[in-house]
Structure 1
Amino acid sequence: MTRPEFDDLCAVQPGAVLSGPGELDAWKIGGKMFACFGHTDQRATNDDHVVVRCADTEMARMLIESGAAGKPAYFRGAWVRLDLPTLDPEEAKHRVAVSYTTIRGGLTKTAQAALPPLPEEC
């Protein structure tokens, strides 16, 4: 999977916006990040992995321990690192959906009401 392909999965989420470029490129919903690409320095980007949120820390731990995901450098808890070159497109779609809905679900009711509605399958 490439960075543009992953960006396409994020872009179709209702109300998702890409912030950056800068120190971090992040996909956000309601001002909260659900996917993040980090830069190694001001001149180079590191687009071979992305960090996403799992529904809970137990799932994140299981994905890391099984080798399906990696431990992200600067994130703790329910966040995992996905390596794009080896990431299956269906798994990527699922991970984006979980991260997006988890972050969206944590927004205030007022913030959620201001967003476009979720599709029926979410």
Structure 2
Amino acid sequence: MTREYVNSVCATLPGAELSDPWGGGHDAWKVGGKMFACVGTAGDGVSVKTADIETAQMLIDAGVGAKAPYFHRSWVRLPWSADPEEIQHRLLSSYDIIRSTLTKKVQATLPPRG
């Protein structure tokens, strides 16, 4: 998979916005101002939020991903060699997790996710 694949999946999500908050070529996808996916300047994979630290550790132990550098332990880095369906599933799950943490007022401004 590639940065372009991640961007194509994220671009379809309601209210998703692409930014480069640190400069230098990061692709940080946010909903309601909160990040749910990030491709760093190394371009070696995508970091996504998981439900909790235990889920992240399970994915790391299973070899699906690795600890996401610079992120909380509930985030994992999925390498480009990961199964495309796994990457898509994790992107959508991360989006849903972050979206659910937004205030009800902000959530109400977003269209439903298909």
Q: TM-score, normalised by structure 2?
A: 0.91
State, as a whole percentage, how many aligned pairs show the same letter: 54
- Structure 2: how far apart are the matches of 1:6 and 1:50? 8
Structure 2: state its 5+ residue gaps: none
Q: Which has the larger radius of gyration?
A: 1
Q: How does 1:4-83 map to 2 (within 5 A)?
A: 4-20=4-20, 22-23=23-24, 24-39=26-41, 46-83=42-79
**How many matched pairs?**
112
Aligned to 1:115: 110
Structure 1: state its 5+ residue gaps: 40-45
CA RMSD of aligned residues (A): 1.3
Q: TM-score, normalised by structure 1?
A: 0.86
- Structure 1: how far apart are the matches of 2:64 and 2:86? 10
1:94 partner SS? helix
What letter matches 1:83 in structure 2? P
- Verify: 1:105 aligned to 2:100, yes or no: yes
Misfit runs of 4+, over 2 Å: none
- Structure 2: how far apart are the matches of 1:67 and 1:89? 15
